[in-house]
Amino acid sequence: MKKVLFTTLISLTVCAQVLALHLPGEIQPTRYTYYLTPEYGQKLKEKNESNERPVLGVPHGELTGDTPIRQAKGFPAPTAMTCISSVYYNRGAAANWLKVACVDNNGLAYSADKKWPPKSIAKRVCTVGQSGCDSFLVLDSDNWSGPQ
């Protein structure tokens, strides 16, 4: 019985998938939710269905997929995404850079460098915490109620 229980627990642990964003540097506390235009949602869906993830030559502020290719396929076009940013020191450029990370309403991750995605990709952009502004990116600190 113990062996079966142990095997079951190990299986559940190995199979569980958790999406964690990696942002270097100092995380900025403000998050923004973009309610995407149907055209841009379709563009992200096409990127997710593609077998390519461009790394070089991506314009600043252009979103690239961060979810592994196999896990990103088969989802409907996203309708919204929440983004957060960090400021980090880029040694190669000898300057502080901005890194933006986003999670869409399907749970898929994206990132952009040096600038935020343009407002033109969205019908509406709001600050998380405002009335009627959903968040698809949850921080560990969201549930923190202060020192106990």
Q: Domain locations in the chain?
A: 19-139
Sequence-distant (≥ 6) Cβ neighbours of residue 18 within 8 angstroms: none
CA 98 to chain centroid, in Å, comes to 15
Q: How far apart are CA 12 and CA 111, in angstroms?
A: 29
Per-residue model confidence as pLDDT tens digits over 92-117: 999 999 999 999 999 999 999 999 99
- Band (pLDDT 50/70/90 cuts) for residue 39 is very high
Sequence-distant (≥ 6) Cβ neighbours of residue 36 within 8 angstroms: 44, 78, 79, 80, 81, 121, 122, 123
Which residue do the tokens 């915490």 mark?
129
What backbone torsions phi and psi does residue 81 show, to the nearest 5 degrees? -155, 150
The amino acid occupying position 87 is V
Q: How far apart are CA 39 and CA 142, in angstroms?
A: 32
Predicted TM-score of the model (pTM): 0.80
Q: Over the chain, what is the mean pLDDT?
A: 85
| pLDDT for the residue 130 | 94
Torsion, Cα of 136, 141, 142, 146 (10° steps): 180
Instruction: Please say if the pLDDT value at position 32 is more than 80.
Output: yes
- For 128, other C-beta atoms within 10 Å of its C-beta total 20
| pLDDT for the residue 144 | 64
**Token reading at 66:** 């961060």
